[in-house]
Structure formats: C-alpha cells, structure tokens
C-alpha cells in the first residue's frame, strides 16, 4: 500500500512509515463504512465503541455523493436522515463549501454532532471533483473526519498531469479508490488509507481470548482485522501486485491517458454536432452529453443505441435533465470503437429527429 501511495503521490500522512497506513478492502462501500465508524469513534470522544450511537451524529456529502455513503450511515446507526445532502454548484456539480458550512452550523445549533464529511473526487454521475481545499479547511475548523471517495477517478493520480484532482487531499483523514474500476485490476479491490491508524484500530478492535497470540502482543504484526469489518481476509494484494508489475508505472499511465484521450475525442464529436450538447466537464474518461431535445427523446436514443448490442451507454440526470454517459475504461477500447459509437449515435439521432 505504501508502494501504491508512492505511485499516486498521495500525501505522506497516509504512509505506514508515519502515523498512517493502508489496507485493501473489498469495495469503496466498505471503505466508507469503516471511515464512518472511525469518525463516530472520534466524534463521540472515543465512546462510540462502548456505547454505540448515543446522540444524533451527522454525515455530510454532496447531492452527487454515492449511495454507499447513506448505506454506511444506516449500517452505523445514523439513520437514513443522518446524511445531509449538500447542494452542488450547478455549473460544476461539485459540492458548495458555503452550503456545507451552513449545514454543519445548523446541526451544531440543534445539538447534533457533525461526525464525517465525505468528499468525492470523480462523482459517479458526472465525475465532478469536490473542492477539497475548502472542504478540508472546514473539517479542520470543526474537527470533523474527512473521508475522500475517489472510487473511480483515484486511478487518474498515476498521471502527474491529472493530480490537480487530488489537491487538498492532505486534509483528509481517510481516502480510497478502486483499482478494480479504472486501474486494470480484477474485481474486487479497494485501496483504503488512513492518516492515523491508531484512531482506526481503536474504533474497530475487539480482542477475544482466542485471537490472542505472541506476534500480536509484541506488535510484530499488523492485524488487518482491526482495519475492516470481516475478521478474515482474501489475498487481494497478489492480483494488484501483478497489475503493477505487468504494466509498470508507464504502462498504467498510458492506460489512463488513453482513456482520457478517447473521451476527449468523443467529446469533440459531440461538440461538432449542433444537435447535441455536452452536459458536464469531462476531466477523466466519462462524457456526459445529450441531444438538444426533451428527456423522452434522449431516453429513446439510449434505448435504441443499446438495443443494437454494438455499444452500451448509461444515463444519469444533470440539473434534473436526462443525460447520456459514455465511459471508456477497458484497455481494449481504441479510437475505432469510439468513432463507431459516435456514428451509431449520430445515425440514430437522424432517425429520431426526422
């Protein structure tokens, strides 16, 4: 995990050579749950482990935060309404720091305890990047745990020119990304780091007599059972190790750069056709776009294109409007596929609009 942190140029605080460290989880959802539990431990002054959720603790994420954040809050006992959905900037779909501050202040005034903010680098819907420097400063001011969910876009940090997306990460208490999403690793594999491993272990450790052993007692080993929900662990590191060894740093960079370039190529096609428009920025390898027509026409376009079996696009809503999404992720995808998909979309639009 230190090796991977070095590859992504993550802040020093996440390295095991200092107070931090990383662990491989199955999924980003598990990473968010573990971060939530550690955050509750901190917010309750270390009492969460013993008394559970004894007050109204709150989690915060943008309106585009992943559903796993609400799920983690529910599992942790915060209830569905424990998550405050913070408004986004309509131009960027990124969390609005002023709205976050207002929500925290309102909860404090009501006697609730702000426990965790989950910021996203690369939201699921549009790959928006939340403003970490501003969010981090707010979390530092109020002593709130900041977890950064970079499930998909974290892989981009292998490329120095894309590391702008991780600016402000030095504020984070925990961070995760999924090598199984955009870094060529077989499902499942989530890389999760914390800045203070002691805090995490304190939150999760349970030590019955049957788990006591000399290696643990002497501190000679790291017991990753205290860094995750399950006791036992799969050996996920091996497949990740093979990916790193097989592709190497430059191979991984080439993969990410190819995805970004193919997305940009597709976006150029969209821009050059007056019948279409881009619905969001495309900093990574996902392009959000739509026909300049109503939602039904866009839904029809998606259904017809997917119905051919030649391409598979997904959809979301941006500013309430039905939006198509083209994602490039496979190392097999080349210019020809993107061009064919565009031709398919443009041809289907001809049929639809005439």
Ligand X SMILES: Cc1ncc(COP(=O)(O)O)c(C=O)c1O
Which region among 89-97, 116-124, 213-221, 228-236 touches ligand X (by CB under 6 A)? 116-124
Half-sphere exposure of 153 (CA within 13 A, CB side): 26
- Binding residue (CB under 6 A) for ligand X from 36, 44, 93, 120: 120
Closer to ligand X by CB, 100 or 345: give it. 100
Min separation Cβ 275 and ligand X, Å: 29
Indicate whether 185 belongs to the interface with ligand X (CB under 6 A).
no
- Binding residue (CB under 6 A) for ligand X from 44, 62, 93, 124: 124
Which region among 50-58, 98-106, 118-126, 133-141 touches ligand X (by CB under 6 A)? 118-126
Closer to ligand X by CB, 33 or 38: give it. 33
Q: Side by side, which strands form the sheet with 314-318?
A: 276-278, 286-291, 321-327, 314-318
Min separation Cβ 181 and ligand X, Å: 7
d(CA 344, CA 147): 40
- 241: which 2 tokens? 């190790």
Min separation Cβ 177 and ligand X, Å: 9
Which region among 26-34, 239-247, 267-275, 278-286 touches ligand X (by CB under 6 A)? 26-34
Cα Rg, the chain, nearest whole Å: 22
Closer to ligand X by CB, 27 or 323: give it. 27
Indicate whether 68 belongs to the interface with ligand X (CB under 6 A).
yes
Closer to ligand X by CB, 78 or 286: give it. 286
Which region among 27-35, 102-110, 166-174, 232-240 touches ligand X (by CB under 6 A)? 27-35
Min separation Cβ 31 and ligand X, Å: 8
Closer to ligand X by CB, 151 or 302: give it. 151
301: CB partners within 8 A, 6+ apart: 291, 324, 345, 348, 349, 352
d(CA 127, CA 119): 12
- Binding residue (CB under 6 A) for ligand X from 27, 36, 93, 285: 27
Min separation Cβ 75 and ligand X, Å: 13
Burial-class residue 193 by CB neighbours within 10 Å (0-12, 13-18, 19+).
Answer: buried
Which region among 6-14, 40-48, 75-83, 117-125 touches ligand X (by CB under 6 A)? 117-125
- Binding residue (CB under 6 A) for ligand X from 134, 190, 199, 226: 190
Min separation Cβ 78 and ligand X, Å: 18
Q: Which of the residues 141 through 180 are near ligand X (CB under 6 A)?
A: 149, 151-152, 178
Closer to ligand X by CB, 8 or 301: give it. 8
Q: How many helices (H) and strands (E) does the chain have?
A: 12, 11
174 phi/psi in degrees, rounded to 5: -150, 160
Closer to ligand X by CB, 44 or 120: give it. 120
Alpha-carbon separation of residue 195 from 42, 76, 155, 166 (angstroms):
13, 21, 19, 15
- The dihedral built from the CA positions of residue 169, 174, 179 and 180, taken in this order, carries a sign that is negative
Q: How many residues bind ligand X (CB under 6 A)?
A: 13
- Helix extents (H) in the chain: 2-8, 28-43, 48-51, 67-75, 97-109, 132-142, 179-182, 197-204, 214-218, 237-271, 295-307, 335-353
Cα-Cα-Cα-Cα torsion 121, 83, 40, 119, nearest 10 degrees, comes to: 10
User: Site residues (CB under 6 A) for ligand X?
Assistant: 27-29, 66, 68, 120, 123-124, 149, 151-152, 178, 190
């Amino acid at each position: 995990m230190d090796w991977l942190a070095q590859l992504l140029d993550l802040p020093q605080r996440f390295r095991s050579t200092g107070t931090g460290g990383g662990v491989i989880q199955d999924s980003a959802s598990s990473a968010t749950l573990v971060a939530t539990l550690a955050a509750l431990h901190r917010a309750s002054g270390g009492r969460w482990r013993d008394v559970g959720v004894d007050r109204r603790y709150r989690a915060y994420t943008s309106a585009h935060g992943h559903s796993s954040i609400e799920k983690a809050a529910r599992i942790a006992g915060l209830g569905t309404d424990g998550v405050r959905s913070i408004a986004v900037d309509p131009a960027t779909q990124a969390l609005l720091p002023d709205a976050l501050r207002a929500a925290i202040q309102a909860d404090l005034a009501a006697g609730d305890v702000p426990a965790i903010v989950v910021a996203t680098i690369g939201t699921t819907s549009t790959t928006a990047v939340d403003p970490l420097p501003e969010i981090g400063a707010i979390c530092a001011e109020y002593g709130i745990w900041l977890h950064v969910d970079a499930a998909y876009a974290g892989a981009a940090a292998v490329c120095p020119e894309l590391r702008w997306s991780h600016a402000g990460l030095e504020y984070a208490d925990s961070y995760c990304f999924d090598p199984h999403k955009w870094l060529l690793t077989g499902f499942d594999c989530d890389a999760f780091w914390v800045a203070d491993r002691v805090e995490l272990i304190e939150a999760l450790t349970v030590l019955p007599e049957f788990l006591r052993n000399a290696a643990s007692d002497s501190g000679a080993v790291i017991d990753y059972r205290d860094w995750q929900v399950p006791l036992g662990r799969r050996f996920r590191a091996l497949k990740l190790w093979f990916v790193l060894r097989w592709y190497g740093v430059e191979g991984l960079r080439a993969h990410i750069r190819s995805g970004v370039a193919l997305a940009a190529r597709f976006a150029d096609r969209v821009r050059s056709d007056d019948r279409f428009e881009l619905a969001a920025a495309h900093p990574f390898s996902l392009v959000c776009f739509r026909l300049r027509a109503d939602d039904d026409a866009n839904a029809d376009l998606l259904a017809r294109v997917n119905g051919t079996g030649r391409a598979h696009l997904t959809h979301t809503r941006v500013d309430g409007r039905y939006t198509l999404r083209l994602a490039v992720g496979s190392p097999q995808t080349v210019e020809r596929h993107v061009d064919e998909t565009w031709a398919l979309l443009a041809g289907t639009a001809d049929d639809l609009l005439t």
